[in-house]
Copies of this chain bind each other. A is one copy, B any other.
Amino acid sequence: MSMRPIRMGMVGGGRDAFIGAVHRMAASLDGSMELVAGALSSTPEKAMASGADLGLDADRTYPSWEQMLESELALPADQRIEAVVIVTPNHVHFPVAKAAMEAGFHVVCDKPLVLTDEEASELVAVQQKTGRVFAVTYNYTGYPMIKEARHLVQRGAIGKVRKVIVEYNQGWLATPLETSGQKQADWRTDPKRAGAGGAMGDIGSHAENLVSYVTGLKISEFTSDVTTHVEGRSIDDDTSILLRFEGGARGILTASQICPGCLNDLRLRVWGTQGGLAWHQEDPNTLKQTSLEGPDRIHHRADGSLCDAATAVTRLPGGHPEAFIEAFANVYRGAAAAMHAGQDDGEGYDYPTVHDGARGVKFIGAVIAGGGQGWQKFQE
């Protein structure tokens, strides 16, 4: 708690952006990181204006990320940024992340990690070579009740896992919003900037990661249906997948952005030989646990019975709800702790790593390529 904030420089996240502001709130909530520099837009004028909006020093508001890296390196070590936070459209993640690590900076990068399997592999290699902390903001793993779910699975509370259903339903792309000039819709439906996956890349990647985090299961085979419902759109807006895991468990994953009325409807259900778990992101402070017989149990954040990992990322007494920003801040907290320790691999720290990000990219690519093709083998 008493650790000083890590100094961060942000790439992207200027005016009109969405996720950059979330990163800043998440970083500042606990004082995990502090924004001291930024290359906030690919348009230099907007970059400078956005820096002023945020009260950044003018001389640390940069017109480009290349300039930021170069200028910050020229500052004394105790002033320069320690971490680069990448909140741009997906296609910019790779060059910035690679250059930042090679320049000696830690990285916090939004998901999906990069556009291709090759890029992902290269980032993994660079991270291993440089030993920099690399956090991917799979923010939903930051929720205390997700940590409790993982704990319950690990300690055998529901037995051996047999069935998983994970859904991420949204409705905001049910219409051709990208034709209206809405910036978020514009780049997220453009394969050149978003990558091969639309719904699959943007939210399916969260779903895949959540299953992996909670169950530890490895996907061995899948069959997918990759659909674009909205005319004129060049990327999937509705993808459904049947999953087979090593060891025999079965699963369903669906990621859809054409479900009107669904806001950010991420749901996870897991059943094992002895019981089940159910969690819903829009009501994140509870976790339902079921068993073969007898009453369901509803766990509440901070009800006096949760595991250490969940308790460690809880700020408030039970009944005082915590939510999206707090979960996001938990990723920052874990990454910042690793940065203070100079840690390179996430061991002993609780944040999603470049390996999680790379696995996600591989899966997105496989799902899109295999859409409608029947069963496909998959190896992480």
Which residues of A come within 8 Å of B, CB atoms? 1-2, 4, 18, 21-22, 25, 28-31, 52-55, 158, 162-163, 165, 167, 170-172, 174-175, 223-225, 227, 229, 238, 240-242, 244, 248, 250, 252, 254, 256, 258-265, 269, 271-276, 281-285, 288-300, 302-305, 315-326, 372-375
* Inter-subunit contact B25/A29 (CB<8 Å): yes
Kindly provide the distance from the CB of A114 to the nearest chain B CB, expressed in whole angstroms. 24
* Inter-subunit contact B305/A315 (CB<8 Å): no
Q: In chain B, what residue has the closest Cβ to A252? A: B240
Which residues of chain B are near A167, meaning CB under 8 Å?
Answer: 165
Question: 5 tightest CB-CB pairs across the interface, nearest first?
Answer: A261-B290, A263-B319, A264-B319, A374-B374, A323-B323
* Inter-subunit contact A25/B315 (CB<8 Å): yes
CA distance A240 to B164 in the complex (A): 11
Main secondary structure of the interface of A (DSSP, over half): loop
Listed A/B pairs (16) with beta-carbon separation below 8 Å: A28-B29, A158-B260, A172-B317, A242-B242, A260-B290, A261-B271, A261-B276, A261-B296, A262-B290, A264-B317, A295-B297, A297-B298, A321-B324, A322-B323, A322-B325, A323-B326
Which residues of chain B are near A289, meaning CB under 8 Å?
Answer: 261, 295
* Inter-subunit contact B294/A303 (CB<8 Å): yes
* Inter-subunit contact A282/B238 (CB<8 Å): no
Which residues of chain B are near A302, meaning CB under 8 Å?
Answer: 263
Which residues of chain B are near A52, meaning CB under 8 Å?
Answer: 2
CA distance A293 to B317 in the complex (A): 13
* Inter-subunit contact A260/B300 (CB<8 Å): no
- Chain B CB within 10 Å, residue with most, of A53, A167, A248, A261: A261
CA distance A302 to B223 in the complex (A): 35
* Inter-subunit contact B229/A162 (CB<8 Å): yes
Q: In chain B, what residue has the closest Cβ to A296? A: B298
Which residues of chain B are near A238, meaning CB under 8 Å?
Answer: 162-163, 250
Which of the residues B172, B256, B283 comes within 8 Å of A163, measured between beta carbons?
Answer: B256
CA distance A29 to B22 in the complex (A): 10
Which of the residues B22, B296, B317, B325 comes within 8 Å of A325, measured between beta carbons?
Answer: B325
Which residues of chain B are near A254, meaning CB under 8 Å?
Answer: 165, 252
Which residues of chain B are near A18, meaning CB under 8 Å?
Answer: 317
CA distance A158 to B374 in the complex (A): 31
CA distance A55 to B372 in the complex (A): 57
* Inter-subunit contact B272/A260 (CB<8 Å): yes
Which residues of chain B are near A274, meaning CB under 8 Å?
Answer: 260
CA distance A227 to B31 in the complex (A): 43
Q: In chain B, what residue has the closest Cβ to A272? A: B260
CA distance A288 to B288 in the complex (A): 13
* Inter-subunit contact B319/A262 (CB<8 Å): yes
Kindly provide the distance from the CB of A28 to the nearest chain B CB, expressed in whole angstroms. 5
Which residues of chain B are near A244, meaning CB under 8 Å?
Answer: 225
* Inter-subunit contact A21/B171 (CB<8 Å): no
- Chain B CB within 10 Å, residue with most, of A224, A284, A320: A320
Which residues of chain B are near A174, meaning CB under 8 Å?
Answer: 271, 273, 292
CA distance A345 to B298 in the complex (A): 41
Which residues of chain B are near A28, meaning CB under 8 Å?
Answer: 28-29, 31
Q: In chain B, what residue has the closest Cβ to A259? A: B271
* Inter-subunit contact B299/A303 (CB<8 Å): no
Which residues of chain B are near A163, meaning CB under 8 Å?
Answer: 229, 238, 256, 258-259
Kindly provide the distance from the CB of A171 to the nearest chain B CB, expressed in whole angstroms. 7
CA distance A4 to B252 in the complex (A): 48
* Inter-subunit contact A291/B261 (CB<8 Å): yes
* Inter-subunit contact B271/A250 (CB<8 Å): no
